[in-house]
Amino acid sequence: MSNSSAFVSHGIAHAQRALSAVAAMTNAHLNPSTLKRTLAQRARAELARLEIIIRRLLTLMALGLVLPPVSIRASSVHPSSTARIETKASGRLTGLSPRLMGPDMDRDGLSAAARSCGPVQAAPILARLAALQELLAAPEAHARRLARKLERQRKAGDPAPMALPMTRTHRLPPELGAIATALPELLRDAFKSWESSG
Q: Which residues contact 13 (CB under 8 A, 6 or more apart)?
A: none
Residue 188: pLDDT band with limits 50, 70, 90:
very high
- Candidates 52, 26, 57, 140; CA nearest to 104 is 52
> What integer pLDDT is reported at residue 39 of this predicted model?
96
In contact, 61 and 143? CB cutoff 8 Å? yes
Tell me the pLDDT tens digit for each residue of 32-90: 999 999 999 999 999 999 999 999 999 999 998 887 776 655 444 444 433 333 333 33
pLDDT, averaged across the chain: 80
- pLDDT at residue 36, as a whole number: 96
Instruction: Please report, for the chain, the start and end positions of each structural domain, with discontinuous segments joined by +.
Output: 3-66+87-102+117-190
At 139, which amino acid appears? P
Q: How far apart, in whole angstroms, are the C-alpha atoms of residue 15 and residue 56?
A: 11
On the CB side of 35, CA atoms within 13 Å amount to 24
CB distance 162 to 96 below 8 Å: yes
pTM here?
0.76
CB burial readout 52-81, b (16+ within 10 A) else e = bbbbbbbbbbbbebeeeeeeeeeeeeeeee
Question: What DSSP element (H or E) covers 132?
Answer: helix 123-137
- pLDDT, residue 102, reads 35
- The total number of residues shown for the chain amounts to 198
